[in-house]
Amino acid sequence: MASSSERSPPPFPESEDPEVLEAAVPDRDSDEDEADDPFLSASNTPLTRKDTPAAPASPDDSLVTSSQSEHRSASRSSEDFMDVLNISAKAALEDPADDFVDILRGGASAQRGEDDAPAEGGAADPPAAFTAPVMELRDGWSASSTQKPLVSEKIPDPLVELLGEASTVTDEATKPSGEVVDLFDDEGSNIFTGAVPAEPADIFTEEDDTMSDTRKHSVKNNGVHSAENTDIIAEATVELSLDSPRNERKKKPTPTPSLPAAASLTKPECSALEEVEEEEEDRCDISVSVTDPEKIGDGMTAYMAYKVSTETLLPMFRNKTFTVRRRFSDFLGLYEKLSDKHGPSGLIVPPPPEKSILGMTKVKVGKEDSSSADFQERRRGALERYLQRVVNHPLLLQDPDVREFLEKDELPRAVSTQALSGAGFLKMLNRATDAVSKMTIKMNESDVWFEEKLQEVESADQQFRKLHTMAESLVVHRKELSLNTAGFAKSAAMLGSAEDNTALSRALSQLAEVEDKIEQLHQDQAANDTFGFSELIADYIRLLGAVRGTFDQRMKAWQRWQDAQAMLQKKRETEAKLLWANKPDKLQLAKEEITEWEAKVTQYERDFERVSATVRKEVLRFQKEKTKNFKRQIMVYLESLLQSQQQMIKYWEAFLPEAKAIA
C-alpha cells in the first residue's frame, strides 16, 4: 500500500464504490488515509474513505490493528479449539471459564436440590411410587428402591443427569460448541475483552478474574450442554494460573495504545485541521457529579434541586472543588444559552434530558413508587452525563456561561425554558420555521463527506432507537422474572411448611430463601440493564439529534451565502441596468451596494467554510467519544453481569449441602 497521493484502487476491492474512488474532491487534503493503510493492512475492507480527519481516528487505528492481528492468529487456532472441544483432552486450555464450572455445579446443585424436593416427597411416601418418576428424570440410573442410594447417586451424576436432560437439548449441544468457539476465538480482538475463548471443560476452575468472567458468562450454557464434562475437576487448578497473566496482558494493551498513538499520529495526520486533538488530556482535568436530588417546596410549585459538585485542576476556576445547587430548569437554561451561542458555528452542543410532564407531576404530587424512583434516578444520571459531556468539550468549557453554571451560587431563574411562557412560544415558532426551511432548502452538496456522514447519522439514529426498545423490553422481562421468582419463593415456603418430613421441609424452606435472594439479584440486574445500558443508548439518541442539528446549521450558513450571492447578482444587474440607463447618482449608490454585498458574500463564504470545518471536526470527535463511551459502559455492564452470575452461583452452592442432607 503505497502512500501515494493518488486515489489508487484499494488493495482488497470488495464492495468497491467506484464513484467514491473517482470523486476528485478538490478540497480534499493529502491522503493521510493512505498512511492509515499500514495499520489497516490486515483489513479486508476497501478504502473508500479518503479523508483528512484521520487524525482523531488514528489513535484507534493501532488499537484496531493490534486487535485485528490477534484476531487473525486466534482464528487460525479456532479449528484447533474445535477439535479440542470435541475431544475430552482439555489440557491446552487458555482461558478457563471459572464461573462456568461453578455455574454448572450450581446449576447441577439447583437441579439436584430441586430433584430432591420431589424425591423427598417420595421419601415421605414409600419410594416405589416416587422413585420411579424421580429416577426416570435421569437417564442411565438403575432402579433402586432404597433411598440412600438415591441421594448419594445424585451427587456424582449431576453431569450425567444434565446430559440426560440434554436429551431435549442435544441439538443445542452441538450448536453451541460451534458457535461458542467463534465467540471464544476472538480473544485478541475483544476490545473490551468480553467474549474470550473458554473451553467448556474449564468450568470447574475456581476463582475468578473479572475479565475471564465475562467469558464464563457466555460459556455457561455450553457447559450445561456439552457432553465432555466428567473429569473436568482434575483440570481445575491448572486453568487458574493461566488465567491471570493473560488477563493482565489483555487489560494493558487496551487503554495504552490510544494515548501514545494520539500523540504520535496527530502530527502527520493533520493538514487542514491544524488543531491538534487534546481530548486525551482534559479527560481527567474536570469531573462533575450530580447528586442528592431534594424536593424543595410543595404542591405544584415544587421542584427537585440537585447538588452539582465539580472537581477540577484547571486554573480557570477559583477553587479545586465546589458545589452548587441547581434545578432542572437551570440545566435547560444552560443548554439554551450554549446552543444559541455556539450552535450556528457548528459545535455539537450536548442536549440535556427532556422535560417529562408525567414524571415531574408525580414528584410534585409526592407519589412515591418504584416508577417514580426509577424516573428520578434516570434523570439524575442523565443530567450528570450531560454536564460531563459539556465540560469535556474543550470549546464549551471556555464559555463563561458554563463556568457560571458550575460556580455561581445563585443563578437567575431561566424562564425561557418554561413550557407555557412567552419565550417558550417564541422558541416553538422558531423551531417550526426551521423545520419548514429545512425541507425547502435543497443544498448543493459539494462535499460528499458530509452527505455520507449525514447518512450514517440517520441510520445510527434508527438503530439506536431499535436498540433502546429492545433494552427496555429486556428490563421489563427481568423485572417480571424477579416478581415471579418472589411468588415461587413464597409458594415453596408454604409447601415446605405443609410438608411432614423435616429434612424435606427444611430443604424446601431453604429453597425458598435462595429463590428470594435470587429475586433480589434479578432486580439489581434489571436496574443495571436500565442504567448501564438503556440510558446510554437514550443519551446517544439525543446526541445524534444534536449532530443532525449541526448539519442543519451548516446548511443554514450555506443558505446565507447563497442568498448573499443571489443578492449580489441582483445588485450587479441593477448596476448594469443603471449603466445602460445612464443615471450617475443612482449608479454611485448601486456601486456602493455592490461592494457591500461583495464583502458580505466573501464573509459568508468564509463563514460557511469555517462552519464546515468545525462540523467536520465535531463529528469526528463525536464518533471517537461514542466508541470510547460505549466501550467503557459495556465493560462496566458486563462486569456487573458477571458479578451477579457469580453471586447466583454462590447462593446455589450454599444451598447444595441442604439438598444433599435430605435423607
Sign of the alpha-carbon torsion through 607, 458, 537, 535: positive
Among 52, 177, 189, 528, binds other proteins (CB under 8 A): 189
- Residues with Cβ within 8 Å of 573's Cβ and at least 6 positions away in sequence, in order, are none
Among 269, 499, 513, 516, binds other proteins (CB under 8 A): 499
- Residues with Cβ within 8 Å of 131's Cβ and at least 6 positions away in sequence, in order, are 119, 122, 143, 144, 145, 147, 150
Question: Helices 98-124 and 236-251 sit at what angle, rounded to 10 degrees?
Answer: 140
Q: Look-up: residue for cell 446526541?
A: 543
Stretch that binds other proteins, among 61-69, 232-240, 303-311, 325-333 (CB under 8 A): 61-69
Q: Residue 246 Cβ, how far from other proteins at the closest point, in Å?
A: 17
Q: Residue 431 Cβ, how far from other proteins at the closest point, in Å?
A: 29
Of 201 and 219, nearer to other proteins (C-beta) is 219
Of 15 and 440, nearer to other proteins (C-beta) is 15
Of 51 and 513, nearer to other proteins (C-beta) is 51
- Residues 532-591 within binding reach of other proteins (CB under 8 A): none
Q: What is the CA radius of gyration of the chain?
A: 32
- Compute the C-alpha angle 553/281/544, nearest 5°: 30
Q: Residue 221 Cβ, how far from other proteins at the closest point, in Å?
A: 4
Give the number of residues in contact with other proteins, rule: CB under 8 A. Answer: 113
Residue 5 lies near other proteins (rule: CB under 8 A) = no
Among the listed residues 210, 211, 202, the one whose alpha carbon sits nearest the alpha carbon of residue 240: 202
Helices (H) and strands (E) in the chain, counts: 23, 3
Among 28, 40, 277, 339, binds other proteins (CB under 8 A): 40
Of 47 and 547, nearer to other proteins (C-beta) is 47
Of 544 and 564, nearer to other proteins (C-beta) is 544
Q: What binding mask, one character per residue, do residues 381-420 give for other proteins by CB under 8 A, x or -?
A: ----------------------------------------
Per-residue H/E/C for 563-590: HHHHHHHHHHHHHHHHHHHCCHHHHHHH
Phi, psi of 14 (to 5 degrees): -110, -80
Compute the distance between CA of residue 200 and CA of residue 210 in angstroms, rounded to an integer: 18
Of 2 and 143, nearer to other proteins (C-beta) is 143
Q: Residue 545 Cβ, how far from other proteins at the closest point, in Å?
A: 17
Among 7, 28, 105, 220, binds other proteins (CB under 8 A): 220
Record the cell numbers describing residue 529, joined without a space.
440493564
Residue 45 lies near other proteins (rule: CB under 8 A) = yes
Stretch that binds other proteins, among 375-383, 484-492, 576-584, 591-599 (CB under 8 A): 484-492
Residue 285 lies near other proteins (rule: CB under 8 A) = no
Do residues 328 and 350 make contact, with C-beta atoms less than 8 angstroms apart? no
Q: Residue 82 Cβ, how far from other proteins at the closest point, in Å?
A: 17
Among 31, 32, 34, 36, binds other proteins (CB under 8 A): 36
Among 205, 212, 310, 485, binds other proteins (CB under 8 A): 485
Q: Look-up: residue for cell 488514528?
A: 58
Q: Residue 519 Cβ, how far from other proteins at the closest point, in Å?
A: 10
Among 85, 134, 273, 543, binds other proteins (CB under 8 A): 134
Q: Look-up: residue for cell 424543595?
A: 296
Among the listed residues 263, 260, 264, 313, the one whose alpha carbon sits nearest the alpha carbon of residue 284: 313
Give the max Cα distance, the chain. 123
Compute the distance between CA of residue 100 and CA of residue 197 in angstroms, rounded to an integer: 12
Residue 25 lies near other proteins (rule: CB under 8 A) = no
Among 408, 466, 610, 650, binds other proteins (CB under 8 A): 466
Of 123 and 396, nearer to other proteins (C-beta) is 123
Residue 146 lies near other proteins (rule: CB under 8 A) = yes
Phi, psi of 443 (to 5 degrees): -80, 135
Among 6, 19, 168, 370, binds other proteins (CB under 8 A): 168
Compute the distance between CA of residue 571 and CA of residue 600 in angstroms, rounded to an integer: 13
Of 180 and 555, nearer to other proteins (C-beta) is 180
Strand 321-327 relative to strand 286-296: parallel, antiparallel, unpaired? unpaired
